[in-house]
Structure 1
Amino acid sequence: MKARGYLAVATEDDYAPFEMIKDGKPEGFTHDLVAELKKYASFQIKQDIMPWTGLLPSVLSGKYDAALTGAVVSTERLARFDFTPPVAIATHYTIFRSKDDSIKTIEDLDGKTLGVQAGSVALARLPELAEMLAKNGSKLGKVVEYTSNPEAYADLANGRLDYVVTAYAGAKMLTTQRSKVFRMGMAVSGPGYHAWPVPKESPELLAFLSDFIRHLRESGKLAELQQKWFGESMTDLPTEAITSVEQFKEMTRIK
């Protein structure tokens, strides 16, 4: 990085409140974090913005050094990536239609049709919800996978789904901004975290980005940006990088 004079990073284009395009310009929590990184680094930060589907493969291919995006840590991703200290919580929650009062408890999800983003950690962690339901003699209903969360939200609003499962920050933003259409339900996973993925072959880069995240935390800037974009500061996040499945399972209670 320092020798060549720049760091090449990739960021998603449509994952509010982390990343989004408004009036042709990028904004969001990650956009503000990258702006801080540009001040912190002694070299240039070259950033490309792209759809989620090609983002992590582009990092693995070597086109980019890291993905500075709202990625959720998972056991599958830890096979190829290490993660910086988390920047936000990513426990998964249900989203319902505001006027649908038929679902009040976990038991009410029995057999209901749900939507989830394809290839997401929300999809990978649905077995946790299935286990919650099984304890009460209930079962997971039909699972419909979508290319993006906004597509799932549209089908929920139109009555094609009974609920959607997604990470906390996105669920909170949607249900706050569109409270007449959607309401936030219950947590359906153990703890989860948003963090930046770095290839396992890049320990020096992981150390640099981890030091940057700690700098933001100690200066109060991380809490300030969390308050700006999530409406709350997240003070109980782990402070260390996440580098192994065993470490992650201990943090999240995943079996």
Structure 2
Amino acid sequence: MLGEIEMPNERLRAAMAAGGWTYAALADKVEVDPKSVERWVNLGRTPRRATAMLAAETLGEDVHALWPSLRQARPARAVSPELVAIYDQRADVPVSAFVDLLTQAREHIDVLVYAAVFLHEAYPRLNEVLRERAADGCAVRIAVGDPDSTNVQQRGGEERFGHGIESRCRLALMHYRPLAGVPGIEVRTHATTLYNSIYRADDQVLVNAHIWGVNAYGAPVWHLRRNGAGGMFDTYASSFDAVWETATPVREG
């Protein structure tokens, strides 16, 4: 290209010399013309990605070390079409945002947490809202952390909350247990590693990301709205389903 400065690829030259590779030998191995290999070395030309990867594998080198320009990834989208809002931390999200989301649900409500007792503490009518949604035909699934599980206990140590998180899981169970057995509502306990707390209502979800050593209220939240199949929303919905399959039903009591 006019104006482009061509420089030898000394890293490639050294790798070939160390392995005793000639232009012709490497060209035969990767199925190109020897003059192409010569241009890679002397003019710094970059081969096609598939050819470069085969050449690097043949030489026992990292492809990006030989041709750094191949490190360039596809440009990321500045904003996902599914992203409605992002909050620096859960404490910035008004409880009304959670309640409004659940109240508007018509088909699905899924909640995956360890405890999240802040909802009941800030909105004592939460169970009534869930009963009302279920009575209108909405399928409600609640998964809270098993306080006796290793992962819950480990999270307490990681967040420097100690046994407090176990106590909050037990408190969450006390809040949700009256819903066990209500038609349309299922309550289960799970023992999985919780990477994100998920609050889904139909095609919208609030995702509270978890950060090692940070309490959930101090971690970010993103609000997503489903925009076609296979997006971020579906990724979190599938994650909920996977955890749900491992969870244990809570008995009435």
TM band (smaller chain): under 0.3
More strand by share: 1
Relative contact order higher in (CA < 8 Å, ≥ 6 apart)? 1
Larger helix fraction of residues = 2
Q: Normalising by structure 1, report the TM-score.
A: 0.21
TM-score (norm 2): 0.21
Q: Larger C-alpha radius of gyration, 1 or 2?
A: 2
